[in-house]
Every structure is written in C-alpha cells, then in structure tokens.
Amino acid sequence: MITCEEFFLEFGDYLENRVSPEVRKELELHVSQCRVCQVLYDSSRKTVKIVTESGSFDLPKSVSDPIIDRVMARLRAGPT
Amino acid sequence: MSFLSEVLLDDKFGPFVAFQEALGFVPNLLRAQTLLPRVIEAQAKLESAVRLQEGAISRVQKERILLIVAAERQDTYCVAAGNRVLSSFGVSDQQIDDLLNKHGHENLSAADLACLQFCLKLSRHAPSVHSEDIQALRAYGFQDESILETVFATALAAYRGILSVGLGPEPDFGTRKTTSRRVDPPRGVACHAPLPDPHGAAQKGPYLPAPYLSSKTFSIVQKSHGFVPNFFRSQTLRPDLLEAELEAVDRILLPEDVLTRTQKECILLAVSAANLNSYCVAMHCNLLRGLGMSAEEGDQVAVDYHLSTLSEADKALLDFAVKLGVRFTEFSRQDILNLQTFGFSEEQILECEVVVALNNFANALQMGLGIEPDFEPPLIPAQNKVHLSAATSRPIERGLVTPSLTEVLDPDARLVAEAQGGKLEAFEELVRRHSQLIYRALVAILGDPVEAQDAMQDALLSAFKHITGFQGRSKFSTWLVSIARNTAFQRLRGRKEAESLDGGECEEDREFRPRQVRAWQDNPEQCYSKSEIRQLVERGISGLPAKYRAVVMLRDIEQLSTDEVSRQLGLSVPTVKVRLLRGRLMLREWLSPHFTTRATS
C-alpha cells in the first residue's frame, strides 16, 4: 500500500477527480485503511462543496447597479 | 564526415562500448553527435531500452519496424544500418528485399503484417491513429506490453530518422542492393487512410493500462515541470522504458548550457503544432508560461511564431526545427549554414536537432498511446483547426496555419466593437454583464468586500479609458479582469503590508500539513443557515494569503477551469494546482472547528 506521503502527493489531483483509474484504485485503498487520510479526504471534499455552493461574494444588483450608474453618469458628462 | 564537426571520444565512452557489444559497430549516427556527449548518452539509453534487448516483441520484430519506417521516410542511412542488423540476425537478403518491396510479404505472419501496418500509420499520419487500431493489434494476439513496445519502436524510428536527416552521417556500411529505396506499405494497406475528425469523440484514451507508480519515480519531471504530466503516467506498464525516456528528458531538455529552456520549449511547441499534436501543444504552452512567457505569446508561437515577439534569430531557429521535424524531405546542409548566419553555434544546432528528434519521439508516443490531455488546448479558433487537420496530408507551409487570434469567438465581440467606437450604451451593457466577474477579481486581490466595491468604480473607468487598446487577443472578459487586477494592485501598493500575489513558495508553504484531523459531519452544510455559511466562507477566503485567495476565488467561487485560472493570473497550471490545494487545505482548517462532529453535536 502507498504511504501517506505518496497519498498527499496525489491528493490535489484526486480532489479534482483528475487521476487515472489505476492511481485512483491505489488512493482508495489507502483511504480505506488510513483514518487520518480518510478524514483529510472527506473533509476536503466537503470543504470544496461548501465553498463552491456558498454563493460567496455575490454582488447583489442593489449594490452593483448604483456603482455602474455612477460610472456611466460620469462618462456621459464627458471629460472633467 | 557528417554535417557537423566531430570530436574524438575515448573508445571506452560508455554508449560506444554498449553499441559495439550489442551490434558489433558504433553507428556513425552517434559519432555525428560527439559535440555533445550527453545527447549520445540519452540516445544510447533509449536505444538500449527500446531496441537492443529482447522484450515482449523480439529484436527481429523491432528491427523490422525500424527498417520499414526508415524506408518509408526514404532514409538511406537508417535503411542501410537496418539491413545490416537484420542480416546479423540471420534474416536473408531476399527476406529483407521482400520487406522493403511491395507484394513481398509472404514470409511474414498476419500478426507481423498488422504490426507493420500500424507502425506505418503511426509514422505517416499519427493524428489518425485511434483506439480501433489498438483493438486490431489485440485481435492479432498482441498483449499490452507488445503494443507498448511497438509504439516505442516506431517512436524511436522517428527519433533516429530526424537525426539521420539533420546530421547526414556517412553510411556505416555500403548500401546493399535493394530493388527500391522506397517501401510500399504491406499488401492490403491503404496508403492514405482517410483521416477521422481529430476533434471528434472517437479517440478516447489512454489505450493501454498504466499501473500506479509512486510519484517519486517521476522526480525528474516533477522538479522540472512542477507536476507529472499524463504523458509519463501513461507509460508505467514498462518502468524500464519510462526510465530511459525520463533520462533522455534530463539530458536533453533540462541543461541550459547550450540552448535555453525557453528556446527548447519553443522548438517543442512549434514542431508539435506543425505535427498537429494538440496534447503536446497544450503541455508546452503551459511549460512556457511557467518559464515566464505570457499565455497569448505562447498561443502565438503555437499558431504562427512568425507573428510572435521572438527575436529574428529564434524565429530562424524555429523555421529550421519545423523544417527538420515536418518537411524533412526538403532539409539539406544549406539549412544548417543558414542558421549559422544567425549566430548559432554547431553545438546549438546539434541540440536543436536532438530536441526535434525527441519531440517527434514524444509526439508519436502520445498519439500511439492515446494519452489524455492535462490541460485544455490553447485558444485556437475553430476555423484554424479545420486548416490544421486539412494540412496533415501535405507539407505545412508558412502562412497555411493562418493566425487569427483576433477572430477568437467571443460573445462580447460586437458590443466591444461598438464600445470602441464610442458607444456608451454598448460599454454599459458589457460592464453590467461582467460586473460580478470584475468584483470578484477585485475581492480576490484585496480580500475586503467593501474595499472591492469601492475599487470597482476605478476599474470601470480604467476599462473605458483603455478599451480602444483591446485587440481581441484574448476574450474581452479576460481583459476586463486584468484591468480589475491592475486596479487592485495599485491599491495594494498603497497598503503598508503589501501582499504579493507572485511570491514564490516559501519554506513554510512547502511544509504545510493539515492539523485538524477530526471527522466532519455527514452533511455539515445543514448545520447552519445559508447566510451563516456564506459569511463563514467569505471570512475564510478573505483571511487567506493573497496568492492562495486569488486562485481559490477564481477556481471555486468563479468556477473557472484550472487552465482558465492560469491564464487569468498569468501563472503556470502546476503553480495554480499547488496554490489551489494549499488554499483549500487552509480553508478546511478554518472551517473544521465549525463542522466536526463535536462542534455540531
């Protein structure tokens, strides 16, 4: 079985689902037998899910519209 | 005497001894490279692994492949050498003539014929090789290892063929009489099989299984490329062949004492593009980005380096490389003399030729093994792809692969043209369309939502001021983000504790290891309201160091692809991957206390 260090080397691609079936098999085997890496993988996957679905840094139209309106008014007024 | 000077090397020079023992002579093809012994060592190692020992296919089968590909390329040097070697294995002159001439394959089994047919296809029209060709070999009883060796032998034939043309070595032996210098394909093989659509769905790879090998195996490329490309991971079925190839990379591509890394990567990019190898094009575009070349310039080198900002000398170097790599039948000693007028030394010319040889070796492997891309292909407009595939059956001439990066399909193009003409309504529509993107680009760098809103006005005014300078070499949204980033950087510079987005990875980063190892809830997001989660995430991201924040913002919040993030930030894909992982792990540390079983129970 691969070591935790080897697991960690592949970890980024594993999270991105970008490993070959052969590599995936090795990583899954490791995760099934190493509690620390199992927690790391599970919580990292959940982190990505939470972050991507959080709707963070959405700029509501109620905020962006006045900014754009101010800029356009300035441009229409011409060079100052 | 070959085209380049030779120096005397000790008879005990390892590669010479190896060839003397294996073949009974030292090929002039190797002696023609004595200006750079390390490239001889690279080739000797490759030949030793691929050719000079029995493997899943026999040495006679390998020599047949080398001979038939050499004959197909009208390469008299390699044909003569191949004749001699096959004779030494007891293959009769008649059998060799049969192999080299049409209608004379009675002595070959159906499986051997199928194998040669495959090799000729890979040598002639690599982009047209697909999974059905591999299936055909399997149907003839070829095992995966045999197929891998067959692909390697064909790739080696390409390597040797390039050097034979580029170096013009004296024949090792008098050319034996054959009825024709040129070989026709085995009977029943269409000479120009119709090309499938290279962008269709037919070519899904990789064609062969690739057992897991520890990343430590790939330490050479890990160090030089910053990651391990699928190209190398797809060859793990035979660690000995992989090792020889990695050593060739180490001895040919990585040293900087003759040509620079950037020059070599440009050669690999330009010749791969001319060979229509989109995998290698994407790879070398990314490596060039890692060496400091902008994404646009890399794309330009791929599409037409004549229109890039490379020096005239480097353009001449690429002309030389592309001619040798693709239009080799037109190559002559005069091309070397021409390149010398640009100030290139014999060592540099030799290294360029070896890089081209290695490139065609790699292109053949990639196509033959169906290796899947690591990255998205560069921005080459659809209409140019049509030109590219149509160009496979004829030599690529300057101007044929017309660069039209300005024609990149961009949904904003019409509005941009109107805005550039001074139409304010068009500009307004554009900024409303992309306001979210601009805002997030600002937050990514500034880290503070309120300041980002404040900076947005400056960014929009700056965009309007500079819009006439936008030339369509990227998508408009990409350009807009770069304006926003510049605006944010100006503000950052005003801060005392300026954060760097470009800073290298410090020791502390490299040592980063997760500390929180308590299990999380099954559905952690259900423990808090949506707005609470958003606040947690925003605080977490805002608290990241700038270089990680920028990558996480674009990849996980903006949900751009890794390749698009690398373009937006002007970073190589490997750097983006490293920063993304660290950023995510830092966020995990931040979120952990809120989502572990103990926290939520």
Over residues B550-600, the pLDDT tens digits come to 899 989 998 888 888 888 788 888 899 999 999 999 999 999 999 987 655
Distance CA(B239)–CA(B144), nearest Å, equals 14
- C-beta of residue B369 within 8 angstroms of C-beta of residue B148: yes
| Residue B40's pLDDT band (cuts 50, 70, 90) | very high
Whether residue B104 has pLDDT greater than 90:
no
Query: What mean pLDDT is predicted for residues B247-264?
Result: 95
Question: Quick one: average pLDDT of B187-216?
Answer: 61
- Tell me what pLDDT residue B490 has: 86
Residues of A with CB under 8 A from a CB of B: 2, 6, 8-13, 15-16, 20, 22-23, 25-26, 36, 39-40, 42-44, 46-59, 63-64, 67-68, 70-72, 74-76
The pLDDT of residue B409 = 66
> Does the pLDDT value for residue B340 go beyond 80?
yes
Q: What is the share, in percent, of chain B residues with pLDDT greater than 70?
A: 85
pLDDT at B194 over 90: no
Which residue on chain A is closest to B529 by alpha carbon? A54
- The first and second tokens of residue B159, run together, are 């390597």
All residues of chain B having their beta carbon less than 8 Å from the beta carbon of residue A46 are 520, 524-525, 595
Task: Please tell me the distance from the alpha carbon of residue A63 to that of residue B521, in angstroms, as a whole number.
Answer: 35
pLDDT of B251 strictly over 90: yes
Radius of gyration of chain B (CA): 28
Decide if B588 and A22 are in contact by the 8 Å CB cutoff: no
Q: How confident is the model at residue B94 (pLDDT cuts 50, 70, 90)?
A: confident
Find chain B residues with C-beta within 8 A of A29's C-beta.
none
Q: With an 8 Å Cβ cutoff, are B212 and A25 in contact?
A: yes
- CA B601 to chain centroid: 50
Candidates B458, B585, B587: best to mutate against A (most CBs of A within 10 A) is B585
Residue B374 is predicted with a pLDDT of 81
Min distance A53 CA to chain B CA atoms (Å): 8
Q: Do B460 and A59 touch (CB under 8 A)?
A: no
Of B103-117, B285-299, B381-395, where does mean pLDDT reach its minimum?
B381-395
- B385 pLDDT band, cuts 50/70/90, is very low
Judge whether residue B273 has pLDDT over 90: yes
Q: What's the confidence (pLDDT) of residue B106?
A: 67
Phi-psi region of B103 (alpha: psi -120 to 50; beta: other; left: phi over 0): left
* Of the candidate ranges B180-184, B188-192, B490-494, the one whose mean pLDDT is the lowest: B188-192
Average pLDDT for chain B: 85
Residue B502 pLDDT? 57
CB contact under 8 A, B533 and A47: no
Most confident of B207-211, B351-355, B449-453: B351-355
CB pairs under 8 A between A and B: 135
Q: What residues pair up with B520 in beta bridges, in sequence order?
A: B596
pLDDT band per the 50, 70, 90 thresholds, residue A78: confident
Tokens of B8: 């005397």
Find the CB nearest A22 among B210, B440, B534. B210
Cα(B119)–Cα(B158) distance, rounded to whole angstroms? 11
The residue whose two tokens read 């050498």 is B81
- Tell me what the mean pLDDT of segment B194-216 comes to: 68
Query: How many CB atoms are closer than 10 A to CB B515?
Result: 9
Which comes out higher in pLDDT, residue B78 or B181? B78
pLDDT exceeds cutoff 50 at B384: no
pLDDT digits (tens, 9 = 90+) for B434-492: 999 899 889 988 888 899 999 999 999 999 999 998 888 778 988 898 899 889 988 88
With CA atoms as reference, report the closest residue to B484 among B448, B447, B457, B449: B457
Q: How far is A44 from chain B (nearest CA, A)?
A: 6
Distance CA B124, CA B364 (A): 10
Least confident of A5-19, B179-193, B300-314, B573-587: B179-193
Residue B199: predicted pLDDT: 45
Q: Which of A41, A44, A59, A68 to mutate to test the interface with B (most CBs of B within 10 A)?
A: A59
Question: How far, rounded to the nearest angstrom, does the alpha carbon of residue B343 sit from its chain's CA centroid?
Answer: 28
What's residue B228's pLDDT? 87
Does pLDDT of B61 surpass 60? yes
Tens-digit pLDDT profile for residues B220-243: 888 888 888 999 999 999 999 999
- pLDDT, residue B396, reads 34
Cα–Cα distance for residue pair A45/B125, rounded to 1 Å: 43
Chain-chain contact of A75 with B230 (C-beta, under 8 angstroms): no
With CA atoms as reference, the chain B residue closest to A43 would be B520
Coil, strand or helix at A19: coil
Long-range residue pairs from B198-204, CB within 8 A, at least 24 positions apart, any chain: B198/B127, B198/B128, B198/B276, B198/B278, B198/B385, B198/B388, B198/B389, B199/B385, B199/B389, B202/B130, B202/B131, B202/B132, B203/B130, B203/B131, B203/B370, B204/B131, B204/B370, B204/B372
Q: Average of pLDDT values for B354-358?
A: 98
Q: Are B94 and B184 in contact (CB under 8 A)?
A: no
How many other C-beta atoms lie within 10 A of the C-beta of residue B411? Answer: 10
CB contact under 8 A, B453 and A26: no
More confident residue, B581 or B527: B581
pLDDT for res B506 = 46
Say if residue B185's pLDDT is above 60.
no
Question: Lowest-confidence range among A52-66, B148-162, B512-526, B551-565?
Answer: B512-526
Q: Say how far apart CA B600 and CA B594 lie, in whole Å.
A: 7
Which of these, B119, B120, B92, B118, lies nearest to B106 by C-alpha position? B92
Please state, as a whole number, how many other Cβ atoms lie within 10 Å of the Cβ of residue B111: 15
CA atoms of B376 and A18, how far apart (whole Å): 13
Q: What is the mean pLDDT of chain A?
A: 91
Query: Does the pLDDT of residue B401 top 50, yes or no?
Result: no
Residue B137 · residue B147 · CB < 8 Å? yes
Residue B311 banded pLDDT, cuts 50, 70, 90: very high
Collapsing DSSP to helix, strand or coil, A75 comes out as helix
CB contacts of B537 in chain A (<8 Å) are 50-51, 54, 56
Convert B356-388 to b/e letters by CB count within 10 Å (16 or more is b): bbbbbbbbbbbbbbbbbbbbbbbbbbeebbeeb
Model pLDDT, residue B269: 97
- Residue B406 clears pLDDT 80, i.e. is over it: no
